[in-house]
Amino acid sequence: MTGAEPTTLAARQLDGVRLDLAIGPLLAPALARTVGALAARADLTLDRLDDAVLVADAISHGATAEAVDDRLPIRVETRPGALTLRIGPLRDGGARRLLDGADDAVPGAQIIQRLASRARVSGGGSRNEYLVVELLQEGTP
């Protein structure tokens, strides 16, 4: 190893992580901390970082009922000024229910739609549906 090579993960560029979280009491804090750390790594402002954590909380709250089994797979990707979450696979119609806020603590709040820059349902059908949520810094394409 030469002195120019990164010696720790922190020294390398981290552009994403794949999570396979067990449904249970640790899902929400684990997802919120991971999303917060990666939002900071993506250089999102504090306001957008807070939005990302609130979206993670909304996902944690509603996705447990939409998971196809006892685990919730989530891919979190970053680039400068952007954070993308890909949640799933979910039950048929689960991504739309999450997006519409059917299980939000505040009925009709549609937290994900209000805070995300973009949100969409990807795929479809049994066990092949995903919710894709992007949070962008202002001015990021």
Q: Which domains does the chain have, with CATH numbers?
A: 16-136 (3.30.565.10)
Per-residue pLDDT 10s for the chain (141 aa) are: 444 554 444 445 567 899 999 999 999 999 999 999 999 999 999 999 999 999 999 999 888 889 999 999 999 999 999 999 999 999 999 998 888 876 555 554 688 999 999 999 998 766 689 999 999 998 887
Looking up tokens 């806020």 gives 101
